[in-house]
Amino acid sequence: MTAIADMVSRAQVDPSFIDTLGGRFGDRVQTGEAVRRQHGTSEAHFDPVLPDAVVYARSTGDVVDLVRLCTTAGVPIVPFGAGTSIEGNALPIRGGISLDLSEMTEIVAVNAEDFDCTVQAGVRREELNAHLRDTGLFFPIDPGANATIGGMASTRASGTNAVRYGTMREAVLALTVVTPQGDVIRTSRRARKSAAGYDLTRLYVGSEGTLGIITEVTLRLHPIPETISSAVCGFDTLQGAVDTVVQSIQLGVPLARVEILDDMQIRAVNLWSKMDLPEVTTLFFEFHGSAVGVAEQIETVSELAQANGGGNFQWASTAEERSKLWKARHEAYYAAVNLRPGAIGWATDVCVPISRLPECITETKADLEQASLPATILGHVGDGNFHVIFSIDPDNPAEMVEVEAINARLIQRALAMDGTCTGEHGIGIGKQRWLVEELGDGAVEVMRMIKRAMDPLDLFNPSKIFAL
């Protein structure tokens, strides 16, 4: 695993400070090793690093009180939602307090006539959609994991529906944020557009908890489509599958979801999810719209697929069949990691302009075929974003070195195509080097200036995105 102990110096928290927290929050302050380990362990390949304590908040007022106490004592605070981030975004690498927002689960308001809602940061996306079902509306951002809305906003999440509905950048209308000074601000109103001052909402979306702690989120909602159809289609070649996606988008087909899984990923999915898909590069499609509109989309995409070496579409017609299909896709990370018993996972992602996607994926696949360990490709190819998942033997340091080199080549390939080092995982601690490569020292220094101005004590999720 990737060691992080030597990345920064860990702050020493006075035990009396933990007692002070106990006086304010009672049994919502937890110092047991099991709870601390849960909050100090990543989904990815980083070594665990435990906070000194975990505090569970239930309101914005709780967060304000904790921030003021920590600021006075000089103790770091790391917001924590569902713990599903990939780049070590929520690891407390300087110790301090892990602020768990998962008990902030109130759905504050649903304004169906305005197509928006306001929720506390700990609400999970699946629970939100269950609550919205009777309104005829849904929240479309789907990163796969049942993440919290606050965490999704903090990391600028996207996922399988991004090609049609956008990312959290487009979905968030307003935020309630607790600043490092312990003040509560609202970044915007519910109006669909505004020219009132700096766009603070977009500043906080994707800031990974380094500038403020998000406690409430106002979200844009969408009508549940009249017709939903899902299908899978296998291809003779990786190139043919990617070409089908690019051509569909260039023809203006409003694909709701289009996911690519290479042959290795399909093998993993079959083993993990007990499916029997042909072990070839496969596209997972979903079409939304009216019955006529969906039929037209399907006809166009089917013709393109056949011209590019695709087989027949296998349909998931019922809600249960669609759920099974997309459950298998959402479990693809665990499927890939478990291609070898006892392995750990390293998931990385890049995003490139859509016209460069076939070249980028094809070159990456060729690189992976030379690797000594299993690796899969999957991704939200409709917006140029794809992932590579490595299954690594934790007892073999040479494999970690090999993966680091492959990952470096992948990112360099994407940057050479004017792409980005991360389409949706964020920077965290895993991609700080590449942020500088992508944007340059000048742009990153502007980010540091913003951080210093807003969090001069560097207590909010310190040493993430970049080092001060």
For 134-182, write each residue's pLDDT tens digit: 999 999 999 888 999 999 999 999 988 999 999 999 999 999 999 999 9
Contact 450, 205 (CB under 8 A): no
On whether both 394 and 407 belong to a single domain, the answer is yes
On whether both 280 and 401 belong to a single domain, the answer is yes
| pLDDT tier, 71 (very low <50, low <70, confident <90, very high otherwise) | very high
User: Is there a domain that residue 437 lies in?
Assistant: no
On whether both 394 and 251 belong to a single domain, the answer is yes
On whether both 167 and 286 belong to a single domain, the answer is no
DSSP structure class, residue 172: E
Domain boundary among 416, 437, 455: 416
For 396-426, write each residue's pLDDT tens digit: 999 999 999 999 999 999 999 999 999 999 9
User: Is there a domain that residue 218 lies in?
Assistant: yes
Distance of alpha carbon 220 from alpha carbon 319, whole angstroms: 24
On whether both 74 and 124 belong to a single domain, the answer is no
Domain boundary among 395, 416, 437: 416
On whether both 246 and 395 belong to a single domain, the answer is yes
Residue 375: is its pLDDT beyond 80? yes
In terms of residue numbers, what domain contains 51? 15-103
User: Is there a domain that residue 445 lies in?
Assistant: no
For 210-260, write each residue's pLDDT tens digit: 999 999 999 999 999 999 999 999 999 999 999 999 999 999 999 999 999
On whether both 171 and 237 belong to a single domain, the answer is no
* Count of C-beta atoms within a 10 Å radius of residue 463: 21
Predicted local distance difference test score (pLDDT) of residue 171: 97
On whether both 299 and 269 belong to a single domain, the answer is yes
Share of the chain above pLDDT 70, in %: 98
On whether both 265 and 373 belong to a single domain, the answer is yes
CATH number of the CATH domain containing 96: 3.30.43.10
- Classify 395 as helix, strand or coil: coil
Mean of pLDDT values over 373-390: 94
User: Is there a domain that residue 460 lies in?
Assistant: no
Predicted local distance difference test score (pLDDT) of residue 2: 64
Task: Encode 13-51: b = buried (16+ Cβ within 10 Å), e = exposed.
Answer: beeebbeebeeebeebbbeeeebbebbbbbbbbbeebbb
CATH number of the CATH domain containing 369: 3.40.462.40
User: Is there a domain that residue 276 lies in?
Assistant: yes
* Count of C-beta atoms within a 10 Å radius of residue 190: 15
User: Is there a domain that residue 467 lies in?
Assistant: no
On whether both 127 and 275 belong to a single domain, the answer is no
User: Is there a domain that residue 296 lies in?
Assistant: yes
- Look at the chain and report how many structural domains it folds into: 3
Residue 43: is its pLDDT beyond 90? no
Predicted local distance difference test score (pLDDT) of residue 91: 96
Mean of pLDDT values over 181-200: 96
CATH number of the CATH domain containing 136: 3.30.465.10
On whether both 250 and 299 belong to a single domain, the answer is yes
Q: How many CA atoms lie within 13 A of 343 on its CB side?
A: 22
* Nearest Cα to Cα of residue 180 among 459, 408, 398: 459
Domain boundary among 103, 125, 144: 103
Q: Give the residues across from 348 on adjacent strands.
A: 388
On whether both 306 and 250 belong to a single domain, the answer is yes
Predicted local distance difference test score (pLDDT) of residue 42: 83
* Nearest Cα to Cα of residue 209 among 87, 47, 358: 87
Distance of alpha carbon 125 from alpha carbon 320, whole angstroms: 19
* Count of C-beta atoms within a 10 Å radius of residue 285: 27
User: Is there a domain that residue 129 lies in?
Assistant: yes
In whole numbers, what is the pLDDT of the chain averaged over residues?
A: 94
